[in-house]
Amino acid sequence: MIKRIIDTSSLAAFKSILASVNRIVVTCHKKADGDAIGSSLAMGRLLSNMGKNAVVIIPDQLPASLEFIASGNEFFTFTMCETKASNILRNTQLILSLDYNSFDRVDRMQPLLEASNAKKVLIDHHRDPKNCFDVMFSHPLMSSTCELVYRLAAEAGWLQWFDKAIASCLFVGIMTDTGNLSFSSSYPDVYEVMAKLMEYGIDKPYLYKQAMDTVSLNSLKLQSYAILNKMTIIDDSIALITLDQDDLKQFNYRTGDTERLVNKPLSVDGVFWSTFMREDSKYIKVSMRSEGEFAVNSICAKFFNGGGHKNAAAGEFYGSMQEAVELFHKIVEQIKNDITI
Ligand code: 5GP
Ligand code: MN
C-alpha cells in the first residue's frame, strides 16, 4: 500500500476551488525538463478528462529530446505565442504551478502570474516554496513532481480519469528526475507508483529509450569533446566542465544538447561534486551535481542566483566565463578551508 501523504484540508481546499472554476492554466518552470513537462501535461490531461477547460502553458521551447512526450498532448509555448498565451493567462480562474516554487522560475510569464487574480495552487517537490499560493502541495521528499501528481490523484479519487498518455508522462518525469531510479528514489513507494503506472499499458522500453538514451550526433560529439578537452578535476574529487560560445558553435549547439553532461564526472570513483558552466546568451548557466551529504543547492543559491535540490541544483552567473571560473575556484578554496557555506 502506498502511504498517504496529502494533507486532507489542502486537498479539500483544492477540490472546492476546482468545483468553482472552469478555466484552468497549468504551468511549469522555464527550460522544462522531463519532470516539469511530464507533470504539466499529465495534470492538464487529467483535468480535461475530468471535464475541465485546462490549458498547459510552458514558458519556453521544449528541447528536441523531450518532444516525444509532447506528441498527442496539447500545450502552448509562451515565447512562441505570447499574445494568445497572455490572454489565456489573464482570463484564467486557476493557475497550477508544477515543478517550481517561485514565480521567478517562469521567465517572461512572471509578471502575468504575479498580477493574476486567479487562485494559485502549487504542486511541487522543491524546498522552501514562496508564500504566493492559495493552496500548496509541497513535498520535498518526493522523487519528482510526477510522483506527487500520481499520489495526489490517487488520494483525491481521480484515477478513474487516468489513461495511458497520463501514465506515460508521469513515468517519464520520474525516470528523468531520478536518473532512471538511480538517485532521489531510496524509498519503496516510488517503485509502487512506477508499478501502478505500468498497469496503464505504457511502452516502457520506448519511453526509456527516448527519455534516457537518445541524443543527437552533435550532442554526443559536444559532450565527448567537453569531457576530453574542457574538464578539470581538482584533488581527484571536484570536477568542472566549461563550454563557451565558440565550443557550442563548433558543435551546432541546440537547447538540450548538454543534458546530463554534468552528471558524468560523478561516475569517476572519488568525484563527489561536479559543476558545468555553459555560456548562454545573457549569462553563464551553472549546473551542479553532488553525491551524499554535500549540498549544492546552498552553493547555487549563495553564489549563482539559483537553487534546487541537495544533489542537483543550478543557477546563473552574470559576468564572463573567466570570472565565473575564478569564483568557482574561490568557492572550492573556501570549502577546502572548511568555511561553512
Ligand atoms: P539543471 O542543472 O538540470 O538545469 O537543474 C538542476 C535542478 O536545479 C533543477 O531540477 C531545479 O530544481 C534547479 N534549478 C535549475 N535552475 C535553477 C534556477 O535558475 N533557480 C533555482 N532556484 N533552481 C534551479
Ligand atoms: Mn522535478
d(CA 78, CA 82): 5
Interval between CA 244 and ligand 1 midpoint (Å): 20
Q: Is 187 in the same domain as 81?
A: yes
Asked if 67 and 93 count as a contact pair (C-beta separation under 8 A), the reply is no
Boundary residue ending a domain (212, 235, 263): 212
d(CA 254, CA 232): 24
Q: Is 112 in the same domain as 137?
A: yes
Alpha-helix runs per DSSP H in 102-185: 110-115, 145-156, 164-177
Q: Is residue 1 a part of any domain in this protein? A: no
Q: Is 184 in the same domain as 227?
A: no
d(CA 314, CA 263): 13
Boundary residue ending a domain (187, 212, 237): 212
Asked if 256 and 222 count as a contact pair (C-beta separation under 8 A), the reply is no
d(CA 136, CA 105): 17
Q: Is 175 in the same domain as 260?
A: no
Q: Is 199 in the same domain as 241?
A: no
Positive or negative torsion for Cα 122, 126, 128, 130: negative
d(CA 183, CA 100): 19
Q: Is residue 85 a part of any domain in this protein? A: yes
Q: Is residue 189 a part of any domain in this protein? A: yes
Boundary residue ending a domain (180, 212, 244): 212
Specify the pLDDT at position 305.
95
Interval between CA 312 and ligand 1 midpoint (Å): 7
Helix 188-198 and helix 145-156, axial crossing angle in degrees, nearest 10 = 70
Interval between CA 337 and ligand 2 midpoint (Å): 33
Per-position pLDDT tens, the chain of length 341: 899 999 999 999 999 999 999 999 999 999 999 999 999 999 999 999 999 999 999 999 999 899 999 988 989 999 999 999 999 999 999 999 999 999 999 999 999 999 999 999 999 999 999 999 999 999 999 999 999 999 999 999 999 999 999 999 999 999 999 999 999 999 999 999 999 999 999 999 999 999 999 999 999 999 999 999 999 999 999 999 999 999 999 999 998 999 999 999 999 999 999 999 999 999 999 999 999 999 999 999 999 999 999 999 999 999 999 999 999 999 999 998 875 44
Specify the pLDDT at position 171.
98
Domain of residue 158, residue span: 8-212
Report residues near ion ligand 2: CB below 5 Å. 35, 99, 144-145, 177
Q: Is 286 in the same domain as 314?
A: yes
Helix (H, G, I), strand (E, B) or coil at 288: strand
Asked if 28 and 36 count as a contact pair (C-beta separation under 8 A), the reply is yes
Q: Is 265 in the same domain as 207?
A: no
Q: How many domains does the chain have?
A: 2
CATH number at residue 202: 3.90.1640.10
Specify the pLDDT at position 341.
46
Q: Is residue 146 a part of any domain in this protein? A: yes
Q: Is residue 143 a part of any domain in this protein? A: yes
Q: Is residue 2 a part of any domain in this protein? A: no
Specify the pLDDT at position 55.
98
Q: Is residue 238 a part of any domain in this protein? A: yes
Q: Is 190 in the same domain as 304?
A: no
Which ligand places an atom closest to the C-alpha of 142? 2
Task: Identify which of 28, 29, 104 to mutate to test ligand 1's pocket (most ligand atoms within 8 A of the CB).
Answer: 29
Per-position b or e across 193-231, b if 16+ CB within 10 A of its CB:
bbebbeebebeeeebeebbeeebeeebeebbeebeeebb
Interval between CA 264 and ligand 2 midpoint (Å): 19
Q: Is 237 in the same domain as 200?
A: no
Residue 123 has phi, psi (to 5 degrees) of -130, 105
CATH number at residue 300: 3.10.310.30
Q: Is residue 3 a part of any domain in this protein? A: no
Q: Is 181 in the same domain as 227?
A: no
Which ligand places an atom closest to the C-alpha of 63? 1
Helix (H, G, I), strand (E, B) or coil at 284: strand
Q: Is 207 in the same domain as 221?
A: no
Q: Is 120 in the same domain as 70?
A: yes
Alpha-helix runs per DSSP H in 157-256: 164-177, 188-198, 204-212, 217-229, 245-250
